[in-house]
Amino acid sequence: MLPCRINTNSDGAEQLCTEHLYRSLTHFCADGSSLVLLCIGTDRSTGDSLGPLVGSKIKDQLPPQVTVYGTLDQPIHAVNLEATINEIKERFARPFIIAIDACLGRTESIGYISIKPGPLRPGTGVNKNLPEVGQMHIIGVVNVGGFMEYLVLQNTRLSLVMRMAEVISAGLIKSCQKFYRPAERSTAEPLPSLPLRPE
């Protein structure tokens, strides 16, 4: 499965995100595995809040087979990431983890998200040595990298991060519902209306 790069400001961004995530789930997520969405970041930094924003948006809208870690209320960040990974390994026999995080990049890449197979290496943009995690990952370029990374993250536009979170959240919700509820799709036609019986 090839990586996918999406401009979140383009028409059809949510649909493209949904389609690629669904294809990725059908390709990588084996029967019997537990899907875990690990949303990394902190609400203390605008640029680094992408993961927790996604987690808060999706946590109550997913099928019961999906578990979400990382929200605005309970963020997963550098301090508790390793402990969270260990908890997931203890809780689930066969977890399939999709890690979601913000990153810094080139100016022309700001506003793009990438969906890639393989583990996420969080903290590389701010020179932190954190454990890699995930069988898949989604990253969003929220600002330019290369200098004063912490200050850059603090001065990232919230509107940009919110838009990226909306695209990722919609893609995750729709693809997970389609992946885990195939029977509902085939029986989703409206029921015929029945005449009311007089009392």
* Close Cβ partners of 191 (under 8 Å, ≥ 6 residues apart): none
Tell me the average confidence (pLDDT) per consecutive run of 10 residues in the chain, 199 residues long. 89 96 90 90 94 97 95 95 96 95 95 96 74 96 88 93 98 96 51 40
* Close Cβ partners of 46 (under 8 Å, ≥ 6 residues apart): 153, 154, 155, 156, 157, 158, 161
Q: What is the full DSSP assignment across 78-123?
A: TTTHHHHHHHHHHH-SSEEEEEEEEEEE-GGGTTEEEEEES-B-TT
The third-level CATH classification (topology) of the domain covering 4-178 is: Rossmann fold (3.40.50)
Instruction: Name residue, tokens 């020179």.
Output: 127
DSSP code of 61? S
Cβ atoms 63, 177 nearer than 8 A: yes
- 108-121 residue pLDDT tens: 999 999 999 999 99
pTM of the model: 0.88
How many helices (H) does the chain have, and how many strands (E)?
6, 6
DSSP code of 64? T
Cβ atoms 136, 99 nearer than 8 A: yes
Amino acid code (one letter) for 98: I
Cβ atoms 111, 9 nearer than 8 A: yes
Q: pLDDT at position 127, please?
A: 65
Q: pLDDT at position 198, please?
A: 40
Greatest Cα-to-Cα distance within the chain, rounded to the nearest angstrom: 76
Amino acid code (one letter) for 41: G
Cβ atoms 91, 112 nearer than 8 A: no
Q: Which long-range contacts (CB under 8 A, 24 or more apart) does 157-160 make?
A: 157/46, 158/46, 160/110, 160/111
Q: pLDDT at position 29, please?
A: 85
- 60-98 residue pLDDT tens: 999 999 999 999 999 999 999 999 999 999 999 999 999
Q: What residue ranges do the domains of the chain occupy?
A: 4-178
